[in-house]
Amino acid sequence: MVIAQPPRYALDRNDGTRPVILFPAIDLKDGLAVRLEQGDMARATVFNRDPAKQAHAFETQGFRHLHVVDLDGAFAGKPMNVTAVERILETVGLCVQLGGGTDINSALAYCEQHIEHPAKTHLILISDLYEGGNAESMLARIAALKQSGVKVIALLALSDDGHPAYNSDHAVKIASMHCPVFGCTPDQFPDLMAVALTGRDIEQWAASKDIALVRGQ
């Protein structure tokens, strides 16, 4: 996910509360917006043959964010619905999250294509860092993004008991690039984004929340 400006929900309101943010979702299969029955790819109901049109419908209803899942990519281990995703991005001005697949390097390469102002870009990599593609290329790409000025943050996947579950070797190597690497719960994510997008010290924030950061070599 590439974020270029602070989402409004990331900032505290005057009364100390935060609104509930709804993220509509579009699941992509064979370029169509579908829903699977019990995760079975053979039992898919098509809800819209034009995912970009569905995304536009969400936007006109007032939503500002959209979660997109590449179901084919999740099963194939690499991005599969690139054309459909690109049409969504061309059609709407929503902040789009994209998931699906285990080829982190390819996902980063896709994000890289949409970065116009590296120094003004935050790239949040939410992953267990187990690379299904080329691990060396993944690490090299993260290093190149960091070198270009992109602010890279790696949020580690959490296990069912709420503890970070990840490839420790890759985590240490990314941390060695001076990228913050840690796991946080969903309720902490708005605070994290507020800290990142307002230029405050992420490591200091994590320490204040008793969040352990992965240390580089």
CB atoms within 10 A of CB 25: 14
Q: How far is CA 98 from CA 53, 82, 93, in A?
A: 17, 11, 15
Higher-scoring residue by pLDDT: 17, 176: 176
Q: Is residue 166 predicted with pLDDT exceeding 70?
A: yes
Residues 111 and 125: their CA atoms lie apart, in Å, by: 10
pLDDT-derived band of residue 23, with 50, 70 and 90 as boundaries?
A: confident
pLDDT-derived band of residue 61, with 50, 70 and 90 as boundaries?
A: very high
H or E, element range at 71:
helix 71-76
Reported as a single tens digit per residue, the pLDDT across 131-164 is 767 899 999 999 999 999 999 999 998 876 777 8
Return mean pLDDT, the chain. 85
Q: What integer is the mean pLDDT of 203-212?
A: 90
Identify the bridge partners of residue 127 per DSSP, sorted by sequence position: 156
Please give the distance of CA 186 from its chain centroid, rounded to a whole number: 13
DSSP for 85-130 reads: HHHHHHH--SEEEEE--S-HHHHHHHHHHT-S-GGG-EEEEEE---
Higher-scoring residue by pLDDT: 209, 187: 209
Classified as helix, coil or strand, 193 is helix
